[in-house]
Amino acid sequence: MYQYHLQAAKVVDHHLHVNNKRRADETEAENQEQYLTHYEPLLIEKWALRLLKANKSRTIISTEPIARMDVEDAVCEICCDPGTREEHTEQGNSPTTDMYQCSVCNRTYHWSCLKQLQFYKEEDRINIDAQSDWSCPACHDLSLDEKEARSHASQHELLKVTWRPTWEPKELLQSWASFWQMIQIYEAKQIAPPLDEGLDNLERQGFRTSIIHSRWKST
């Protein structure tokens, strides 16, 4: 999987969900603030679709195949993290990505993760950097035919999944950064004064109409 969590793309509405189903041990009905949330498409491996469909709380709108090499923010296949593990190159100047992409299956790997699993030693890196067609440990020993088949398969292993917007409880903002951000944007829009298009520029800056008129008239 490329993203473990759905990313909130936009919050479009807000309401108070009134819970009428009162349990016997509750003295008050629990009302809950909720936000209607749209999501960024989720990238998944094809085999995982079955698992997503089993989740009845979310409705899939569409699934579209996407080639692995077209994925921009691919994660490391070992640790599932898309971020860099190294801030700078060994030489200490420009920031670098330490993510290596397999020329056969197009999967990506951190150098440090490959090393940790003992596929490589640090001294191997200079050779890998010099190769234009590095292949990952899973592809390295395949025959030419097998490589071709695997390369072809990588064009069809992923799906881009879109979801129907759902009402999400406000409490989630504590643990869901993109949801929190989208609520901020939504609420900023709610309190912003409407733009008065009838005003001219000076009036919009706070000049009173009477001042503007007397100025221009007296000159």
Positions in the binding site for Zn ion (CB under 5 A): 76, 78-79, 102, 104-105, 110, 113, 136, 139
In degrees, to the nearest 5, what angle opens at C-alpha 140 toward C-alphas 135 and 141? Answer: 165
CB nearer Zn ion, residue 34 or residue 110: 110
Please tell me the total number of residues recorded for the chain in this structure.
219
CB nearer Zn ion, residue 44 or residue 104: 104
In degrees, to the nearest 5, what angle opens at C-alpha 198 toward C-alphas 193 and 194? Answer: 15
CB nearer Zn ion, residue 37 or residue 108: 108
Cβ 97 to Zn ion, closest distance in Å? Answer: 12
Cβ 153 to Zn ion, closest distance in Å? Answer: 11
Distance CA 149, CA 182 (A): 42
CB nearer Zn ion, residue 133 or residue 197: 133
Annotate 122-158 with DSSP letters as a single string.
GGGHHHHHH-SS---HHHHT--HHHHHHHHHHTTSSE
Cβ 106 to Zn ion, closest distance in Å? Answer: 7
Distance CA 138, CA 61 (A): 34
Cβ 149 to Zn ion, closest distance in Å? Answer: 12
Distance CA 108, CA 74 (A): 7
Cβ 125 to Zn ion, closest distance in Å? Answer: 15
CB nearer Zn ion, residue 118 or residue 174: 118
CB nearer Zn ion, residue 69 or residue 79: 79
Cβ 133 to Zn ion, closest distance in Å? Answer: 11
In the chain, beta strands by DSSP E: 8-18, 31-39, 42-45, 60-66, 99-101, 108-110, 158-163, 166-169
Secondary structure element (H or E) that encloses residue 46, with its range? none
Task: Please state, in angstroms and as integers, the Cα–Cα distance from residue 169 to each residue in 18, 33, 34, 209, following that order.
Answer: 12, 6, 4, 46
